[in-house]
Structure 1
Amino acid sequence: MLATTADGHLLVLSIVVPVAGVLLSFVLSERYVRQIALAVMPVGAAIAMAILLALPRGDGFIVYLLGAWSPPLGVALRADGLSAVMLAATAIIICAVGVYAAADSPPAAGSRRVPFAFWVLLMAIWAALNTIFVGGDLFTLYVALELLTFAAVPLVSLEGRADTLRAALRYLLFALVGSVFYLMGTALLYGLYGTLDILLLSHRVSAEPGVLIAAALMTSGLLAKTALFPLHLWLPPAHAGAPAAASAILSGLVVKGSFFILLRLWFDVLLALPGFAAAQILATLGAGAIVVGSIVALRQDRLKLLVAYSTLAQIGYLFLLFPLALDGQGRLDTGPALAGGLIQAISHATAKAAMFMAVGSIYAGLGHDRITGIGGTARALPLSVMTFALAGFALMGLQPGGASLAKELLLLETARTGQWWWAGALQFGGMFTAAYVLLVLVHALSPPDQPVALAARPRRGSDLAALALALCSLLLGLLPWQPYLPIPYALESKLFGVESLVKSLITVLGGTALAILLSPWPHPLVGTMAWKDLARVLGPFRRAGLGLGGLVERGDRVLRQWPVAGICMLAVTVLLAASMFGAD
């Protein structure tokens, strides 16, 4: 029988503190909301770090029983290594975004209600995410996921423009469809086993028809909320239309909530299910997200849209872990592949939040975010461009970033499992990331047609907050992950070997080639003799690349239509169910 552990109260505090901040903000009104949020943040961060430090002392898990009732009669909060690192990463990102928003004007622009809504929603998202990370049963996770959705949707429309209201409505409706699918699967499991406690279900679930249907429903519902291709109807307009601080939260953290529940579902609850075919399907959708998201990102003329489509591509990376986590019997195993996927999620969260904040500073400084019009930005806004570059380098998988460590873990698993084709997806994904990062940097470093006149100079505090997150992502590979995640100690030497340097060089060179071939925007070198010589050699390849890019972009527009998105969601559900029934 479970019992509350010595540090169990920390799990309750991780939820109560941000909730108390929300309630106190309503009591004291908008006049003090920023001060309340900034006071809550260090307290919440300290609690997250206390959980991180307490976990090794508690034999790898912390438990708190609500009302002292054990499941299935009661509800338990649990934290393991995955929970602890996600709690800590979320606290760091929330604090950085809070500093950025406090120093920056966009979230506080307009009426007094706008900053009040921003700070309250920020704390509500934090509370919902922490509940997801420590929730011990599937219904608690459902409630937390709905709270996360209803706190995230208003962030999209904070500025009140018609396009952002439409984007928020698309997000809300599609997320609710995902919620219905998840809830139907939860009801099926409860009807079969009389409990939704994750630990109890892990010992009771078997590969029977009702469970297979529930798994397919819940998985597709969570995929819709995570915006995995082709269920990304809502993501680009929502992330691109929100204010910079809100976009940082949406891209960096909100999509990680549903992804974390998906990990809990497959690695903790559905261990007895045949997972080989379903894992291959999830990874195939992830590979499609990498290709489509990256190609469409290269064709965007606005920085925020480029970063939004980059999020779509990076989400695909996370799903490559599923087939690589299979053991010899075709069951999912909590080994290095899971660790690699989680580190990739954290690396993406920190880097993408930093990217959106840097783009927000560039937009505030220039008055626009057109890629072809940012020449000279590196000199006018050096901290913002450096932040974007460092975050981009981290996402590309350059040493010693978290993405580099994650890629090495996943590549080791491709060799162990003999699934070499996913190694190709990992390598090409890094090249695609390099392509759109280098595209932006080349334009930012190019000389302007006329002197850059800044509409406003971003405040130093916001620039430093974004830079700190970018550096965090670039240094994640140096952290001691072993107490929390199953990482081979010998892997550290691979991060700084000659082989890794060669891989990084190939990633950069491949990304340069892809940027030239797939991006339709004029290169800063156009008109020079070097460009003319290069154009003569690459002319046919570039025309083919632009044709392919146009085709992919048109396909993306079709997939983001409501009828097509609905059909895709049903198709994914049926495909997942059929794959498990066929393997049973």
Structure 2
Amino acid sequence: MTEATLLVTLPFLAALAAAAHPRAAARWGGAATLANAVLAALLVQDVLADGAGATGIGGWTAPLGIALAADGLAALMVAMTALVGAGVALHAADWSLRAAADARRTRLRTGFWPLWLTTMGAMNALFLSGDLFNLYVAFEILGLTAVGLTALSGGRTALRAAFDYLGAGLAGSLLLLLGVALAYAAAGRVDLAVAGTLAGTVEGRIALALVLAGLAVKAALFPLHFWMPAAHASATPAASALLSALVVKAALYVALRLSLEAGAGAGTLRAALAAAGAAAMFWGAWHALRAERLKMLVAHSTVAQVGLMALALGLSEDGVPWQAAALLMLSHALAKAAMFLAVGRIAEELGHDRISGLNREDLRPGAAEFAFAIAAISLIGLPPSAGFVGKWLMMEGLIDGGAWPWVAVVLAGTALSAAYLARVVSRCLRGGPHVAPGARRPPWRTGDVAALGLAAAALALGLGSALPLALLERTLT
């Protein structure tokens, strides 16, 4: 479990170094991201070989020390962060090199790396934490860095979105802290295993409800999503990819952990999650269908897909295996990061991100358009993607349990996601008479490799889903 300690401490140390030496920020960021990926791979290998493990930072154990615990679910989430982070870091490094002569972009590129490294450290700490208070501390760090990433571009729209993000994050943190305090008052401890005890008392259920309400705000779950579309749409492409692919998963992960620990006693809270998730699927899809800008469409689609993941989590009592929610989180992280990076490249080539102007006659489809199309396959849930495997597990559980109304909800949400993503794909990949014979093809960038790689990974994990499923079997439930 040495890897767990390094996964938490190394990113924070690298963030300090990147902030202290702005000229070398990209080098510090790249090296730390690569080291994090290696450590994540070693952690996955250890969990597969030896099962779950725990360690205390500095040799101190609970209740005085901070205990880190890694099982299959935690290792999968750490690996997800490492994989997405590697792709986004590659894109950011390419963008930094091309922006070296621009003073404003130089400020952006030097500011990105400390924020990303701190985000990575907070995500790792959250996934490896074994008690509610340490989760709250990790959420606080993650919330501050997310606000910084949102405001990084410096525009008026971005600053307004960052302010809304900050307000929502503080509200969510307050609810979370109140829930943790009530949990301690009711049970005398705050480790995650206390959820089963809390679900058996009135005070405990109130504490769990407050914690889940705070998580719903941080995950932008309907109807507490008001801050999210503008924040994700106004940030830089790399920041949007991190916010949508990773940051919202932190709250969903904790909700999944609490659901596993609470067992049957949290049935009412799961029902509320399922209802909110179903509403989010339709609200987000409706606004994505009506969006005029590409980034806003992708941002609204995140609301819908968060709803799908919340629905899978909430229906675990109706026969849906919890592994379906975990696989949906993983596939969404890879595909949505690829999609935001691709959108950034498309807007860079066209000079705008208006959906109505995507099919220009003088520009042939490039790598970014193909990355968007491949990512759309996973987000819709088409085979052979990881999104398909997650939805298949979900639908199989619902059909076996006879939950036909929920089957109809999932199918309707899938059809809507296909409809709004087809608005973009049909224009991006249009050829024939719609493209002039002398149309130019966009030049390749290193960032295109990142978008294509992440989108391809979402497909490959569908074909190789045995590995994440085997890892999830090592989860303590």
Asked if TM exceeds 0.5, the reply is: yes
Bigger Cα Rg: 1
> Offset at 1:202?
4.7
| Residue in 2 that maps onto 1:394 | 378
Which residue does 1:475 correspond to in 2? 460
Given that residues 205 and 272 in structure 1 are in contact (C-alpha distance below 8 angstroms), is that contact kept between their aligned partners in structure 2? no
Whether the aligned pair in 1 keeps the contact of 2:47 and 2:53 (CA below 8 Å) is yes
Give the length in aligned residue pairs: 467
- Distance in 2, Cα, partners of 1:466 & 1:55: 29
Amino acid at match of 1:423: V
1:196 aligns with 2:190: yes
SS of residue matched to 1:484: helix
Whole-Å separation in 2 of the counterparts to 1:381 and 1:204: 56
> Matched residues in 2 for 1:210 and 1:471: separation?
47
Structure 2 equivalent of residue 117 of structure 1? 111
Q: Which residue does the alignment assign to 2:313? A: 322
User: 1:452, CA displacement in angstroms?
Assistant: 9.5
The code of the aligned residue for 1:216 comes to A
What is the letter of the counterpart of residue 472 of structure 2?
L
Deviations 1:58-114 (A, max 9, x none): 2x2021123434433433110111111111111010010011111125887515332
1:20-68 CA deviation, whole Å, 9 max, x = no partner? 21111133x210000111111111100000000000222x202112343
Matches within 5 A, 1:109-508: 110=104, 112-199=106-193, 201-202=194-195, 204-268=197-261, 270-271=262-263, 273=265, 275-326=266-317, 337-376=321-360, 380-446=364-430, 457=442, 459-479=444-464, 480=466, 481-486=468-473
The secondary structure found in structure 2 opposite 1:195 is coil
Tell me, yes or no, if the aligned pair for 2:371 and 2:452 is still in contact at 8 Å: yes
2:9 matched residue in structure 1: 16
- The TM-score, its normalising length taken from structure 1, stands at 0.76
Aligned-partner Cα distance in 1 for 2:438–2:134: 52
**Equivalent residue for 2:40?**
48
Post-superposition offset of 1:17: 1.5
In the alignment, does 2:76 pair up with 1:92?
A: no
SS in 2 for 1:229: coil
Q: 1:249 to 1:452 in 2, by over 3 A?
A: farther
The structural deviation recorded for 1:248 is 0.5
Aligned partner letter, 2:399? A
Partner SS, residue 301 of structure 1: coil
The whole-number CA distance in structure 2 between the counterparts of 1:314 and 1:74 is: 37
Query: Cα 1:422–1:123, aligned 2, differ >3 Å: closer, same or farther?
Result: same
Q: Structure 1 67/194 Cα, relative in aligned 2: closer, same or farther at 3 Å? A: farther
Question: Do the aligned partners of residues 61 and 486 (structure 1) sit closer, same or farther apart at CA in structure 2, a change above 3 Å counting?
Answer: closer
**Contact conserved, 1:55 with 1:84, CA < 8 A, in 2?**
yes
CA contact (8 A) 2:143 2:166 kept: yes
Tell me whether 348-357 or 107-116 shows the greater mean CA deviation: 107-116
Counterpart of 1:57, as a letter, is: A
Instruction: Give the corresponding residue for 1:512.
Output: none
Q: Give SS of 1:482's match.
A: helix
Task: Give the 3-state SS of the residue equivalent to 1:399 in structure 2.
Answer: coil
1:33-72 equivalent positions in 2, closer than 5 A: 33-58=25-50, 60-72=51-63
Give the AA of the match of 1:48: A
What stretches of structure 2 of length at least 5 have no aligned partner? none
Aligned partners of 2:15 and 2:114 also within 8 Å:
yes
Matched residues, percent identical?
38
Residue identity opposite 1:419 in structure 2? A
What's the RMSD between the two structures over aligned residues? 2.2
Please state how far the C-alpha of 1:322 moved relative to its aligned partner. Answer: 3.0
Q: Deviations over 1:398-451 (max 9, x none)?
A: 111111100111112112332222111221121111111111122223455989
TM-score by length of 2: 0.93
Measured in 2, the distance between the counterparts of 1:445 and 1:112 equals: 33
Letter paired with 2:286: I
Distance across 1 between alignment mates of 2:307 and 2:175: 21
Where 1:375 maps in the other structure, the secondary structure is coil
